[in-house]
Chains A and B, each alone.
Chain A
């Protein structure tokens, strides 16, 4: 049976209170708020019209509450910043004073008026009057709506198992949520697992990360799904339906003990991606010894069995009989209440700037190459050697902002590169001796974090030479050494520098696969390509889609400290959301008037959520909306040929009111 539609009764004569905000000078600097209020006072049904310095402040909200009580106001219009900012705030204000939260209307006279017409004060004021008139007009037709709640699944999906995903998963699981952590690669750890030391404290990266990785695998409330990808997401907050594909490892996870016997006997050796293709691995492998889970994986591209069925050595030797060449991908269907995206970032492809010689000259390496080279578990067991001849370098230059702060590539600052370069300079001096020449060529040095400036001073005192300027081209000498010219603006001089190794500090970029992930999750991305947060300052871990959070570098490049803070924020938001066991749903849904509906089924056909059923009502067929499935897009309302569908809170009357009011002026 269709729920009774709340109607505006005749007795309910609108008594409108309208509040025009100055927002300090943000609005009043352009729009004459006082004259807008004077104008609004002349409009029908307006009982009071006031302008106020900061309407969202406590006294501002009190003013509205008092007016509701004292003047019997039953509609409230606030002309202020975007409703995305304070619609919820003011809904709360008026419901505290006894009104239904949905009899509020917000006119956006800041983002969509004063801020974008700063040089046209008169026109902006006229526009503000129009927007206020439109809002008042719509408010007359607003009706109270009842919020309902739906039960939620106290569980969460985390996409990506770098430090961000690890941190979020642990926080949420510790708070009692059931967590599924989906990682595309064979092990969790992300980029942090590849790092040697971390600035500014020079903590060994593995030493601080590995224990957390192990905690993830041991936690009773975390299901770790590595070598897996999210293929589809449906549903809504509290009840997301997620499809995950587990790629075949060709090794039975439950049986594998990680002993490594198989890898030892495998005759294949190929470059190891984890070591930036500098070390070698077998065709059955773990990317690094501390991998979690410590389960081997066969890489079918290189395994001889998959090539020509010639070799089955690993299968024969495995003491647990864990090798299974016939494994198939497995599909898992999960229901989760919330989703945290922690898909991280990639590093910039340095071959896109050919002048720097990466890929052409062996001694030009990236900073991630260096992390592996300097790491005791890396391809050279921690010995810093010149790739062309395996000799210890006498001089090294680090070039900053490769691909970052660059109009042709990424415009933004990578936010880790300056500190990472100083860390690497420190390690060079420490490992190769203080007589090694180390240069850092930079645009600006940014050492903004806690302990960062101190670290910079320490590195400078070690004798690292800071050159303010960027080389335009790196060339190779016949002996393999590298040479470049750079204009050092610190001393206003051209310099010619010859070094054994050049290290490129790479920008961070949105990761491969982000297009696909965006399509699956249907969340927005910013102009920089990263996922977009709900509010840059106030909701950095949330998205515009309720229930979907962001953690770490999938939202913007940043270092580990900031990634962990962000991840904890995302976890807290998911916990907050799911802890009560139910979430309120917006009553902004569609409603079918069965007396008018002819049962034609157009709405049934176009609804993307299958929220419409065709039912039999006293002998004729009619559409009916399933409230829990309806997301309130209103597409059905626009399509209904007989106007039988009401889109609550965006009714045709309410929208028409605004159209008419806009053109009255």
Chain B
């Protein structure tokens, strides 16, 4: 049985209002599959009943659970390779020559999911520069509280460490913790995880030298993408670097960026005076 149109619509609007995530018609199955565990947890047998119960007695916790359940948290280490390898080959040397020796580099993983992106950056910098933990701070944010907590914990399952993490880095930067693997304390100290909704006014942070805003704009409509790119630009230093996901671009969305080809992928830099 599938979710009725009015109930799907109610969920769609709630998720859009809270997170800007667009659930296109046809995603009923997704809503149904993702909300079923929440329904079961309340002792209800289907999603229709769950939606009715939440609608009749809304509590902030339910809203949060629904939004979190509808985020897609798929991620991996070194996702797409080049946006990370070019960090140490190109971006870091240019930043280090432009910054004073005492200046801290600030990097933002703006939709961090369970933290693989932030810790990929931490490992690369730790291996590339002496004293990285004193020179770099990485801010990792996500709308999902559960993802922020997972990032903070820095623990990954066997299946997760298999996804793109080079074995030499696994043995260098992780320890076994029961059936999981835990990131080394010096890397965890480099990363600060906090909740942040990209679709709302951003908290005071930064300014950042590098922003990873990857595989999240794809969930938003054009006006939201534009607003987010504008807000990100305000937190990025004028000579900073922005990395988007492989299927994302500023072209045709926000013309105040210039695209720089790095390896087989691209980075974006604020256009001067734009």
Real binding pair: no
By a beta-carbon cutoff of 8 Å, the part of chain A in contact with chain B is: none
By a beta-carbon cutoff of 8 Å, the part of chain B in contact with chain A is: none
